[in-house]
A and B are shown apart, each in its own frame.
Chain A
Amino acid sequence: MADLLIHQLLIPIVYIVAIVLPLVIAVAMFVYWERKVIGWMHVRLGPNTIGPFGLLQAFADVVKLLIKEVILPTNANRFLYYMAPLLALIPALAAWAVVPFSSRMVLSNANAGVLYLLAMTSLGVYGIILAGWASNSRYALLGAMRSAAQVISYELAMGLCLVCVLVLAGSLNLSDIVNAQAGSKGLFDWFWLPLLPVFVIYFISGVAETNRAPFDVAEGESEIVAGFHVEYSGSAFAIFFLAEYANMILVSFLASILFMGGWLSPLQGWIHIDAPGWINWIWTGGFIWLFIKAFLFAFMFLWFRATFPRYRYDQIMRLGWKVLIPIAIVWVLVAGCLKYFGWVVTGTGG
């Protein structure tokens, strides 16, 4: 009984905390990094007052938000108003269960990992819709409508991109997908090369799914103030913020895992030197490579935000339905041919 309790309950909880706690800290640092990077791109300094280089700015903001009052708008639906932030946060955190950090570091090595990810990301939209509806505000409802339509549309393109990856890897398991990208040709063994258009589409849909610039019509400060979370304050707003940034980091990790070889090294198969473990990871691969790749993708989110003007709503829909989805459908066929005729050999390495 005690043995079962430890193995079934205590150890998983320790693992979950070991993922969620660094994730929350990563979100805080990512917010700081975003403000800093956008500041540099605007030729400003960004946060520089609190802590060394302004490093503690994000934590100061969190404390400020937590001690603020959560205001319930008049005639708002009390239960759903307080539920909505949780409904946004829970799927955003739950999706991390299947993310493999290295060949041995994964919380749940589920067989249907990709399906699970699709299921969790599609659940996140409920938080947004319910927040918009429960706040009893026009702006919030408009933001929720835009956001939900956008998320559903881009989920299709994203799903088709995942299908291409599955066809090549022959598995729904994320660790198997990474292993299928192993080989002796370095970074040219990864799926970004045979699936280049799909890789681009995946990342665009990922940006659109997380409602980030240039697809942030759901927030659209100039038109609908702040969209679905306009009525939220204090810790409830902080939870929405946390969910959005956790999702951004998740999309960055997934783009690295699905197309850029996950924890594999870009030098795989080129260098064969027996070195101690703390150098060896540079060519045999390790979680540091995954973090570097994910960091680059996360940086691109910020870069986009500082570079592109916001899309108009109908142009977002046009891009999703008339451009991305047709290309993705064609590439599903191409991926089938690549696999069937053996033009792409997967998983030749260790």
Chain B
Amino acid sequence: MNPQLFQLICFYGFGFVTVAAALAVITLRNTVHAVLALVLTFFSTACLWMLAEAEFLALALIVVYVGAVMVLFLFVVMMLDIDQEKMREGFVKFLPVGLIVAVVMLVEMLGLIGVRAMHAQFMGANPAAAAGVSNTAWLGRALYTQYLLPFEIAALILTVGVVAAVALTLRQRTDARHESASQQVSVNPRDRVRIVKMAAERPAEPSPVPPQESQP
């Protein structure tokens, strides 16, 4: 078994899992299972990219989408109290519409790929391998030197998006009671607790007859 054949088998294996998981996302009735199928789709896509030696993209996909975005998705879906029976209604009714949309999208994508294929320029050798560095290092160099301005602009746009999202959802309640951590930390213990100095033992009371129990 030569390495190329092994790689091809791996590619088809991962590809099959990706497609099957993507199909499961839209066919599974249980929404939590559907989200998990989406996670599997992302994961096997990352495996495919790893095969194509795009290790940074693959790991970033797992860290960002699988590790963070899908967790939040899963939360939302778990919190929804969905009536599963209701979700199953109307599957047949909406099937033709769904199929038409799917076919249109497929035709458009095939057309796009066809147009691109006609203008195809063969991709050169892997630039990272040519430069003798890892894919991650090469990507970092390209992003921070050649494409610095677009990269910074993208970062700026994302920051604006974050600020806008916070501004949209920020509601200051005036009647809520807050506690300030800095005030709490700077509390003087003497204001809260009064420590009283006391003798460790009570002064011996003069009693003429010692009680019987205390004798050994």
Contact = CB atoms under 8 A, between A and B. Distances in A.
B60 interface: yes
Nearest to A173: B134
A111 B68 contact: no
Q: Which of B33, B72, B137 is the most central at the interface, judged by chain A CB atoms within 10 Å of its CB?
A: B137
Interface of B: 1, 32-33, 36, 39, 55-56, 59-60, 62-63, 66-68, 71-72, 74-75, 78, 134-137, 181
A118 B136 contact: no
A126 interface: yes
B67 A122 contact: yes
Nearest to B60: A115
B71 A115 contact: no
Contacts of A118: 59, 63, 67
Contacts of B135: 111-112
A115 B56 contact: yes
A198 interface: no
7 contacts: A77-B32, A110-B55, A111-B134, A119-B63, A119-B67, A125-B67, A125-B71
Contacts of A331: none
Given A111-B136, A112-B134, A145-B75, A122 B181 contact: no
Q: Which secondary structure dominates where chain B touches chain A?
A: helix
B136 A129 contact: no
Interface residues of A, number: 26
Given A4-B1, A119-B67, A123-B67, A129 B60 contact: no
A116 interface: yes
A111 B55 contact: yes
A80 interface: yes
A112 B181 contact: no
Given A1-B1, A112-B55, A122-B68, 7 more contacts: A80-B33, A112-B134, A112-B135, A126-B74, A141-B78, A152-B68, A315-B181
A1 B135 CA distance: 30
Given A1-B1, A111-B55, A112-B59, A123 B66 contact: yes
A210 B134 CA distance: 31
A310 interface: no
A126 B1 contact: no
Contact of A112 (B1, B56, B78): B56
